[in-house]
Structure 1
């Protein structure tokens, strides 16, 4: 019922979570859509092989089919310092990985990619970071894929990259800015994705959070876990999984004055429109 439009399934084991059990339970709950996002140029094959191995081991044919049909993949390069420094090589590797799975309809997006000026504080990195982002936007346009964007403390750089690309489409994942920034992304035709972090906004900023949650148009809103990170209340500080996204749906539905079923249906429709 509850689509998760951004998670990292291969990272679960590193947090002590049994990914096999998680995927089986997601299938059993008939979760309709789970998108596993990339972070490294060479991780797509590793991630697809990992998930294929899990689904192949499921004995129940009905569960196997549900697990296979709910999973989607994105391939992209998170802007760490190594990727920025060797950006042309990394984009070539990313392209090679994507070509390996050109016929796999589960591959549906480029990302996550973008800017992280929280960690990449050296101004010398900014030009390379922008070039790495631009090359992935170009690749997405060539493949006619949407883009999953990571943007932290980098609103201006992110918006400039999107505008310069022209005709790009996608989502600002794990959104961390305010209403005016959201308006700018929405005006470019982009989607906004909220994670479990909205459930633990500080009291002094809760009004701002609620205004943002209400501001995003129904046809541009996505929800995600970013698992294994950012577990929603009441699991804050613990490892996250796509199974916990229900708490974020309930929080957002309450603020928007919707039933959780209405919100779930709307987010799923948005995911299908954006990712196909």
Structure 2
């Protein structure tokens, strides 16, 4: 079945989606791996409690076990303006959350990174860099990979990775081209494609196909970023991990693979990066 390496399950309700129903269906379909990514310094416990509450309510014991075992967590701070301004306080909170939760399913730090679409001030960029560097250091301390958000910030992101010498992480919801992908791959990083890869306009189809073919088989991940970025034919509607099969079909077709072959490769990559 289809691995989803990045989603936000606690956000589904805000889009009118019953997260409990989604998780039960994922378990019923025997989905092997779903990563719920963090965005706020204090959201890890909230997300763990939310998921645990759902899995505890599952009556069927085998389904309950599958639901619990497929889910993994990331813990990180998305670079919004408030988090950037109070970055040292937020890092203290993040560290405290990780220590108190002692969550065995925590498999990554993030998402974190740079967003030059929303954060355009020079002061924002310096703060983003410091917040990113601190989370890179935390990932290194905990020996966990980093989930990186990068929008309109290729140079800043690559510089941050190079300066830290970090070789373990993924560019989630990748939005750059082939040459930028080459630079990240050369640093040892993984590339994750979301449903947005299915949106290519006619003038962009060739470049999208080049990118999809270019990423090495052992560095490719796929994600939903649910509840955002639903793939075609559901573009514009709320997204869930159940819709990721459409992204798999799109990517598999371009790469000349069966969806089963692609699913097996992505699961292997996810386990290699995030642990089994």
Q: TM-score, with normalisation over the residues of structure 1?
A: 0.99
Aligned to 1:210: 209
Partners of 2:176 and 2:232 in 1: CA distance:
20
| Deviation (angstroms), 1:120 | 0.5
Deviations 1:5-33 (A, max 9, x none): 00000000000000000000000000000
Deviation of residue 247 (structure 1)?
0.1
Runs of 4+ in 1 over 3 A off after TM superposition: none
Contact 2:136 2:166 in 1 (8 A): no
TM-score by length of 2: 0.99
Kept in 1: contact 2:38–2:77 (CA 8 A)? yes
Task: Assess if the C-alpha contact under 8 Å between 2:12 and 2:227 holds in 1.
Answer: yes
Q: Identify unmatched segments of 5+ residues in structure 2.
A: none
- Is the Cα–Cα contact under 8 Å of residues 195 and 230 in structure 1 kept in the other structure? yes
Distance 2:110 2:166 in 1: 17
Partner of 2:152: 153
Match status 1:97 vs 2:101: no
Deviates more, 1:163-172 or 1:3-12: 163-172
1:91-240 mapped onto 2 (5 Å cutoff): 91-102=91-102, 104-240=103-239
Q: Secondary structure at the match of 2:109?
A: strand
Report the number of matched residues. 275
CA drift of 1:124 comes to: 1.7
Q: Within 2, Cα distance between the matches of 1:148 and 1:168?
A: 12
Q: Which runs of 5+ in 1 are unaligned?
A: none
Q: Does 1:42 align with 2:18?
A: no
Q: What's 1:265 paired with?
A: 264
**Contact 2:74-2:111 within 8 A present in 1 as well:** yes
Give the match for residue 54 of structure 2: 54
TM-superposed CA distance for 1:84, in Å, is: 0.2
Q: Residue 74 of structure 2 aligns with which residue?
A: 74
Matches of 2:188 and 2:167 in 1, distance apart? 9
